[in-house]
Amino acid sequence: MVDVLPLVEARLCSALGEPDARAAVTFLGTDRLEVLRFHEGDVVRYATLGMSAQPMSDPTAVLADPVEGPRAELVLSVRPGASDTDKVLRPLAVLAASPQVEGVVVAPGSSLDVGEPLWPGAPFTSVLVAEPGGLVEDLDLGEPLDPVRFLPLLPMTPNEAAWKRVHGAQALQERWLTNGTDLRDPSRKSVPLD
């Protein structure tokens, strides 16, 4: 069996450089999860490490397949300084644990909600899972294992999350693009939704 996590960490480091900090979190009944922090110019990136150790399985399946199924890690990019974004470590670990704890399959277009601000004073309690491949390339593990996908997270305000539920992820992303929304701004306001 392939030891996935060293390969995942190597892929993250080759794409983002060496992490300047890491934190580990363990929830009851889950494997250890880490969140790595990378600085790149005026952007700080937080990446989970541990979510991909097991494949995500269909929550309706009687038994989870230990080999086949999608694997992913989460990546959040924000501009540092204006907010204490380092407090996002625990909420990110909670989101990364959701496949093990809740049987959720995290995929592009889905919403994940932590029910509290992502960091102190953040106007966001949830994230939109974006398409992978732009920042960190998928990690091929060879057959029969699915590749590890590095899923970008885009913070959403409660109004944006509600609007996305009605109109869909693509419509929200188009709204952000049309309005020139800086999705890395840790204190940005909701995009106009009328």
Tell me the residue ranges of DSSP E strands in the chain. 21-25, 33-40, 43-49, 71-78, 111-113, 126-129, 148-156
CB within 8 Å of 163: residues ≥ 6 apart: 172, 175, 193
Given this model, what pLDDT does residue 60 score? 63
Q: What phi-psi label fits residue 133: left (phi over 0), alpha (psi between -120 and 50 degrees) or beta?
A: left
Given this model, what pLDDT does residue 64 score? 60
Tell which residue, 86, 130, 91, has the closest CA to residue 113.
Answer: 91
Per-residue pLDDT of the chain (194 residues; tens, 9 = 90+): 568 999 999 999 999 999 999 888 887 777 789 999 999 888 999 999 999 988 887 666 656 666 678 999 999 999 987 678 888 988 999 999 888 888 888 999 999 999 999 999 899 999 999 999 888 999 998 888 889 999 999 999 999 999 999 999 999 999 999 999 999 999 899 998 87
Tokens 């300047």 -> residue: 20
- Residue 158, preceding bond cis, omega within 30 degrees? no
Task: Determine which helix (DSSP H) or strand (DSSP E) holds 138, and give its type and residue range.
Answer: none
Q: Which residues partner with 148 through β-bridges?
A: 71, 139
Given this model, what pLDDT does residue 62 score? 58
Given this model, what pLDDT does residue 171 score? 95
Tell which residue, 106, 92, 107, 112, has the closest CA to residue 161.
Answer: 112
Do 44 and 80 touch, CB atoms closer than 8 A? Answer: yes
Given this model, what pLDDT does residue 172 score? 96
Given this model, what pLDDT does residue 59 score? 61
Structure tokens given for 51: 């979510």
Given this model, what pLDDT does residue 30 score? 73
> pTM of the full predicted structure?
0.91
